[in-house]
Amino acid sequence: MNYYSTNGSAPGASLQEAVVRGLAPDKGLYMPEKISRLPKEFFDEIGNSGLTDIAKTVAHAFFGGDIPKATLDKMVADTLNFEIPLVKVEEGIYVLELFHGPTFAFKDVGARFMARMLSYFVQEQEQEEVNVLVATSGDTGSAVANGFLGVKGIRVFVLYPSGKVSDIQEAQFTTLGQNIVALEVDGTFDDCQSLVKSAFMDEELNSQMNLTSANSINVARFIPQSFYYFHACAQLPKQGLDTVISVPSGNLGNLTAGLFAKRMGLPVKRFIAANNRNDVFREYLQSGKYSPRASVQTVANAMDVGAPSNFHRILDLYGHSHEAISKDISGYRFSDEEIKSAIKRVYESSGYLLDPHGACAYLALKEGKKAGETGIFLATAHPAKFKETVENCIGKEIEIPEGLKAFMKQKKQSLPLSREFSQFKNCLNSLRKK
């Protein structure tokens, strides 16, 4: 299948070109030329299918024309070697737990899949080295770094805002070494994302370093996230329900993957975009006007995005129709105080422990779900990744999984950077020569 740019002025690209480039030459985001609807038989049997089998079917619909079936099936199986359970929280409301992977965050799915696909294409092209740039507001960095750790022929540069990610999140990508380089930026996530985009616009840097991105701008990162939406619906106690799904929304890659799944026939009525105070997308849904701005720091830091990249994919998917977009998606915004209050209230009423992002999605679902509908919200990270915040909410200590504790015991390795692109470019060039 070929891929086109959302900006409309770049030539079509093969899957391999789209994955290796990350960003199109006209600085747009790649989109598949078609999104195939899955056959009726798939949905008839979905309730009896496991996660891996579901994911193999979805992956084949997107990538089957470009990668041999046995290779693609192995990518899926290697990626999804952990559970993604659907848990009942209260009557009519379920949570899809996406934090059972190696870095305890939903991005393990997309990052692990992309690492395997990019490695496959690098070997196919017999390239010497590909350099992956990734900006993170929290969990992307850890998922990508761990997904690519030790992968031959690939080096990863993780850019993150200094002092604006949790200690555990930071430890997950600053302690690894090997082919992972952590760059600590004196600024916000938007500054980190801007540096990455500027690097892709620099022709000299691209020609010298073979750059690609592992953010959700890359089709190999965000499309695989559609897998678990099908798996969520498959786990519902009854099929054919009026289902709505609430998604914590920052850079909008996760939501976009859900919308792709809906286009493929996912039996979901509509989506809810849960925003913290960085609610640029909610404002667009209400007014039809898109006004990106500088992000502000919140307790749900992975959603602290003021200029969400995947907004342009959503526009393209719906032919730039605000009416069509707002028919399929509603948006809600919540403050830090409301998010923290929800963590406390849900824990006291049901014993279920939410992280700040899941709590925001829960609130949006409670507000947006209508009578007779069944609601699913996504829990995108383990509560222990936000230990101090969560403990302050519930008034007691929480247990940190052994896998997370292991990261905290290692020595931090990071390089400080300003927000100036010239310093970033010099840093990349100096590291390239080593």
Q: So which residues are the catalytic ones?
A: 107
H-only helix segments in 81-202: 107-125, 139-148, 167-174, 189-201
Of 357, 292, 290, 355, nearest to 326 by C-alpha is: 290
Of 108, 149, 99, 174, nearest to 401 by C-alpha is: 99
The per-residue b/e assignment along 236-258, b for 16 or more CB within 10 angstroms, e otherwise, is: beeeebebbbbbbbbbbbbbbbb
Q: Is the dihedral of CA 265, 269, 270, 272 positive or negative?
A: negative
Could you give the CA distance from residue 348 to residue 361 in angstroms, rounded to a whole number? 18
Residues in the chain: 434
Residue 252 Rama label (left phi>0; alpha psi -120 to 50; beta): left
Residue found by looking up tokens 């905290």 in the block: 408
Dmax over Cα atoms in the chain, in whole Å? 61
